[in-house]
Amino acid sequence: MPKASVNGIDIDYQEYGPEDGNPEAIIFAHGAGGNLLSWFQQIPYFSINYRCVTFSHRGFGHSYDIGDGPGMEAFPGDLEALMDFLNIEKAHLVAQSMGGRTALGFAVISPNRVLSLTLADTTGAMGEEDVEMALSEWRQIHPDTRGIGFRALSDDFRTRKPEMSNLYLQISRTNPVRDTSVPILFGGPKGDKLINLEMPVLFIVGEDDLLTPPHVLNLASRHIPGASLICVPGCGHSVYFEKPDVFNFEVGRFISAASCS
């Protein structure tokens, strides 16, 4: 598996896409329960027309962090360094859960390098008070959503597709043990940093998401001018995994429109 030596670590990544031409790039940023392997249901769909890059955040997959390293604080900088390493000037960013922290963080730092931003089942860790308060209140009412015990897949999906649910678990178990006490979806960009974003932004969330429920993402979407929100029925915290056909269609349509704008 190829490695990008950036920022003092080796980030593992994979590339897919057309061999001819110069297609636009899509970079997929996984959540805390995954790594670069998580996007196997997206790559066949998007790689027909786009240069697709999957990678493992530092501390996930085989992207091992250094001792006492910066951890998640380095995610946006790692993404920028990876893009430079791969000679990608601009890209569409598709981020799941924790990956939203990476993508939104990068978008406010380097907005001219982001063609579009898809935030799936995530607030992007935006630090807006109403968003953080709503998320905190939800987790107080639903304590099983805190820490490593939250359910990334809906009960219905786990009942209908036990083999896929087990695959999700096995992918997650390939990650190194991490510190789960560090908050993932709090303390990020807010205020003018969000208001000034000009790239197209899409929020997509499962109707039954227990970690970042639709009403929280509805609040989050209001802080970014022009952002749209799609709520997918019968789906939990992992729309990309539970309903890949819906996810691929909606995100694909959004990216296609962004490319034409």
User: Looking at residue 140, which CATH number applies to its domain?
Assistant: 3.40.50.1820
User: Which residues form the domain of 68?
Assistant: 3-260
Distance CA 45, CA 36 (A): 16
Helix (H, G, I), strand (E, B) or coil at 46: helix
Q: What share of the chain is helix, strand, coil (3-state, %, to 5)?
A: 40, 20, 40
pLDDT in tens, the chain (261 residues): 799 999 999 999 999 999 888 899 999 999 999 999 999 999 999 999 999 999 999 999 999 988 887 888 999 999 999 999 999 999 999 999 999 999 999 999 999 999 999 999 999 999 999 999 999 998 888 766 644 434 789 989 999 999 999 999 999 999 987 665 556 778 889 999 999 999 999 999 999 999 999 999 999 999 999 999 999 999 999 999 999 999 999 999 999 999 987
Q: Quick one: tokens of 134?
A: 């709503």
Number of domains the chain contains: 1
CA 191 remoteness from chain centre: 21
Decide if 67 contacts 176 (C-beta within 8 A): no
Question: Which of 240, 236, 23 is CA-nearest to residue 120?
Answer: 240
Exposed (0-12), middle (13-18) or buried (19+): which is 122, by Cβ within 10 Å? Answer: buried
